[in-house]
Chain A
């Protein structure tokens, strides 16, 4: 096993007075190159969990291991170099006055020499298909383009792990698709491990494994097919129902007996076809 992140018995409360744990004894691990989706309703602890990985949140108890490091004060900066995060609001994460300045920001902080920096910025922008926008003002980009620039900012730092914290939730459908495609490409090319916190069914479907959170607890874990087969319960898990599940539930109400396993749209068409021809 080549584990890149291991969390062991993580618990966390926002304040001492709080009785409810924001994270309640959570353990799981992620392998190198794996894509994990974390789902759960608003307030279930998804973002807090992600923030324990790079030390933005310090757990009350438990252990965090990233790569070869057991997270502590001495190696927190090495860990942060390994973990890049993209947040929800594309407008809240820009510091540069042009796209390329913005991507260069992280590299400047690391004291990378200028010639090397120029190369890495170009390379990163190329990977997210935003090179032609290098000189543009970030404010004038669409939401999807802004998030792609944010991803380039992370790629330039050559991390091993990318965390997407509802990175597509404020985008229109086209922007969402654009960003998801970019993440897939970058992940493959750079052999990144990805953690995406999401309510979007397509984003969750892109993962190798889905983790479901509820009230600070890790309640379920499985492949997308396994998790999607929970049907109606997916809504309580903070995910929208895949279309075939919605249709199945409407058909069930009319008394039509539908298969209980998860069906893709193609699977649904096929099932209807068989159902019709049996008659």
Chain B
């Protein structure tokens, strides 16, 4: 399901003396089956854009096409519910929203709200637990006896239980340890690769953008200032640094090497694996030699 923003603007408390403009002139497209990273520093409008992705907010200007539906300021709130099933949002620190007495019931809550039978909802919960790295034995346990990282997985399962086509993630790994971070990011990547889930990731972590995303949108002061592939955009490291975003550590180091050794990497390496390959070529290490050296 594609999502397209056309000339979208959003003003809080429009028409009152307190009005304040959060978004303006936003054009962007999120491709079906893609992995889009939405970046921008605090206050750039990321969260407001995010709430438009499933019509939690309606634009005060312009239009947003979500699959077949067009949402404008004039759109009636009726019938927007189905959009929220198709576009699932995992908000920041989603574990704060757990409330049921068992993990199974908590995961089943969303689908039941959308009319899925109790039985079916629980069976979805059961099937989802292993996907988020927990096993079935968790089903009847209280979510409040879990560690923070486990609670986060349960909350994510609750969103996946709606069987969304688009999964929106707002800083999904904040506060987790590096191992937990990697596991959760790999899990999303796996859903994207194997089930064709469309992913929108809001993040400050440029390494995650480099490792996972195929498209990148940069927001600044309420509008889109750049859009393109991470490889293209990360070339402009000075500009990104001036936006207080920075570049992935691999890009930073690669550029350091380019300066010191007067090398020019092509294409720009985004991951350590890509960089290692290119260094190997540059240093003229042949496979034969590499073999000897092991």
Contacts and interface: CB of A to CB of B under 8 A. Distances in A.
Contacts of B252: 243
Interface in B260-290: 260-261, 271-273, 275-277, 279-280, 282-285, 287, 290
B11 to A, nearest CB: 19
Interface residues of A, number: 39
Given A265-B256, A273-B260, A276-B283, A253 B276 contact: yes
A166 B283 CA distance: 41
Interface string A247-267: 101110111110000000100
B234 to A, nearest CB: 15
B276 A256 contact: yes
Contacts of A174: 41, 244
A254 B283 contact: no
Contacts of B283: 256, 272, 275-276, 279
A59 B246 CA distance: 44
Given A172-B41, A257-B293, A239 B276 contact: no
Given A142-B42, A238-B179, A250-B276, A256 B285 contact: yes
A111 interface: no
A43 interface: yes
A173 interface: yes
Contacts, number: 102
Interface in A141-156: 142-143
A251 B178 contact: no
Interface string A221-252: 00000000000000110111101001101110
B257 interface: yes
A232 to B, nearest CB: 12
Contact of B147 (A42, A253, A279): A42
B185 interface: no
B261 A273 contact: yes
A56 interface: no
Interface string B33-55: 00000000111000000000000
Contacts of A55: none
A244 B246 CA distance: 18
B268 to A, nearest CB: 15
B275 A42 contact: no
A170 interface: yes
Given A251-B280, A276-B261, A243 B249 contact: yes
B105 interface: no
A279 B287 CA distance: 15
B196 interface: no
A241 B272 CA distance: 12
B100 to A, nearest CB: 22
A269 interface: yes
B149 A42 contact: yes
A142 B276 CA distance: 37
Contacts of B291: 255
Contacts of A25: none
Interface stretch (B21-29, B83-91, B123-131, B169-177): B169-177
B273 A43 contact: no
B204 A238 contact: no
Interface in A38-75: 41-43
A199 B272 contact: no
B180 interface: yes
Nearest to B274: A250
A98 interface: no
A231 to B, nearest CB: 13
Nearest to B271: A250
A255 B289 CA distance: 8
A169 interface: yes
Contacts of B249: 243, 246
Interface in A1-57: 41-43
Which 8 A/B pairs are nearest by Cβ-Cβ distance? A255-B290, A250-B276, A240-B178, A250-B272, A257-B293, A172-B204, A243-B249, A251-B276
Interface of B: 41-43, 147-149, 174-180, 182, 204, 244, 246, 249-250, 252-253, 256-257, 260-261, 271-273, 275-277, 279-280, 282-285, 287, 290-291, 293-294
22 contacts: A42-B149, A88-B175, A166-B175, A170-B174, A170-B175, A172-B42, A173-B244, A199-B177, A199-B178, A235-B178, A235-B179, A243-B272, A249-B272, A250-B275, A255-B285, A255-B291, A256-B276, A256-B283, A256-B285, A256-B290, A269-B260, A276-B283
